[in-house]
Amino acid sequence: MKFRKFTVFNPKATAHDAEEFEVLFNLDHIVSIKPIRISRADRLINGFWIRTTNGKKYRSSRIPDELLSVIGEEYQGTVLADGSDELSYQ
């Protein structure tokens, strides 16, 4: 088994005020990881949609570095809207 730590949002909370917590996933049970944008009350986050073998889906703000290097580091972090049409990444 290959357990790694992910930071996911509470699936039962609303999208704008969901709290984050850390959870261990077995990498053998992850079917897919898709980059997404997650809307928060005060910011927009680059995150991930994680699907597991039992069919459950999780919104994640952080994934392990070993997976991030494969997917691309530009897909993790906060996106700030500074009033212009462009979004700046941090």
Q: Where are the domains of the chain?
A: 3-89
Tens digit of pLDDT per residue, the chain (90 long)? 899 999 999 877 665 667 889 999 999 999 999 999 888 777 788 889 999 999 999 999 899 989 888 887 777 766 765 533 344 444
Return the pLDDT at 43. Answer: 77
State the pLDDT at residue 10: 84
3-state secondary structure the chain: CCEEEEEEECCCCCCCCCCEEEEEEEHHHEEEEEEEEEECCCCEEEEEEEEECCCCEEEEEECCHHHHHHHCHHHCEEEEECCCCCEEEC
